[in-house]
Chains A and B, each alone.
Chain A
């Protein structure tokens, strides 16, 4: 690992100031992606700004039918939170499926969405539930946050502070994990609220997480497993790599979507 300096920020504003005064600095919270990347010398920030201990970013609460999760909440904290398990078990289950237990103690929701790995799980929940992402500057809708592979609308000096998920009980995440890494080969988050149906797909899109509008429209007209089975995802724009080509992945997305709809129909 290359040498760098380390700052333990005492507040969000101190972290923001440090971040804006040196463009070569990086925020660290759990470090579960950043540190392995630095070990491989694929990243070499001049300064790490640690925000992991900031209490103002560590909360899970429910307010006017939204679950508010502070950005440094770990996957373990989300997966075992009474509030999340009671109001939106789909989100708790998603968090429980990330990485392995050791990673879940360290990795944070803010880090996971800021990194926007195309195979990460949380971006699917954000898009699939219509989350709002709060940063040190503003509030951003999930649709406007995730832009492309490892690319978000976060500016250089902006830090994610909280993710607000509308409570939609009728929601389900189905994932086909890569057997080695547990990252999603295909992950589909389906939610059905009083006003809309959302289907968000991770692990498959060449530009990262996306909403599968065709499936959403079809399910909005007819909420049934038969409909889910009848819509096919085109393999165009679907990732192809050593783990699976685009046809295989597109089909996996279909299978995950069918399973999610099936589970929701059977349960509700």
Chain B
């Protein structure tokens, strides 16, 4: 077991974890933050995307011990109380989801895309969503939501 200290959604935690534990299981099983999803076993789907020190990464492909002393934001930490984050709001307004399983990862990825790419267009958004799979929407409304949010943020 190893001791880790991690800031999650603004709260400092200290915890004993197994070395082999994936970060996504720390979030879901130990902290009960089940908004971060596990959609595949091959590191491809992006449903587990969280922000590690501000960067969108796959929490299924890193160990909890690697996140020691890091600051993490999950989908639960995005809204400001009852006020949704503009990207969350845009997904709601534009019907950017159907079953919703990929949505937390999509939104965390979208926040990162908007931060990195000042002049977004449809082509860039589609390229940037390379690491996030959706099996319902055909991406149409996801792309629409991200472009709408980019205009607001």
Contact = CB atoms under 8 A, between A and B. Distances in A.
Partners in one complex: yes
Given A3-B19, A4-B20, A36-B43, A101 B62 contact: no
Contact of B131 (A8, A50, A52, A100): A100
Interface string A3-14: 111101000000
B32 interface: no
A6 B19 contact: yes
Contact of A105 (B20, B22, B56): B56
A102 interface: yes
Contacts of B112: 101
B58 A103 contact: yes
A40 B41 CA distance: 8
B61 A32 contact: yes
Contact of A5 (B19, B46, B128): B19
A102 B131 CA distance: 7
Contact of A100 (B60, B66, B130): B130
Contacts of B109: 101-102
A48 B58 CA distance: 19
Interface in A1-35: 1-6, 8, 28, 31-32, 35
**4 smallest A-B Cβ distances: which pairs?**
A100-B131, A100-B130, A6-B19, A105-B55
Contacts of A32: 43, 61
A87 interface: no
Contact of A102 (B2, B18, B58): B58
Interface string A205-240: 000000000000000000000000000000000000
A8 B49 CA distance: 24
Interface in A90-106: 99-103, 105-106
Given A3-B18, A6-B19, A50-B66, A101 B61 contact: no
B65 interface: yes
A3 to B, nearest CB: 6
Tell me whether chain A's interface is mostly helix, strand or loop, or mixed: mixed
A39 interface: yes
B49 A52 contact: no
Contacts of B41: 39-40
Nearest to B42: A36
B20 A101 contact: no
Contacts of A39: 22, 41, 43, 60
Interface residues of A, number: 27
A182 B131 CA distance: 10
Interface in B99-135: 109, 112-113, 116, 128, 130-132
Contacts of A28: 66
A35 B131 contact: no
Interface of A: 1-6, 8, 28, 31-32, 35-36, 39-40, 48, 50, 52, 76, 99-103, 105-106, 180, 182
B63 interface: yes
B63 A35 contact: yes
11 contacts: A6-B19, A8-B65, A31-B63, A31-B66, A32-B61, A101-B109, A102-B58, A102-B131, A103-B58, A105-B57, A106-B62
B141 interface: no
Given A1-B20, A6-B19, A35 B130 contact: no
A102 B49 contact: yes
Nearest to A47: B19
A6 B65 CA distance: 8
Contact of B128 (A4, A48, A50, A101): A101
Interface string B1-19: 0100000000000000011
Given A6-B2, A52-B66, A102 B46 contact: yes
A100 B18 contact: no
A48 B56 CA distance: 24
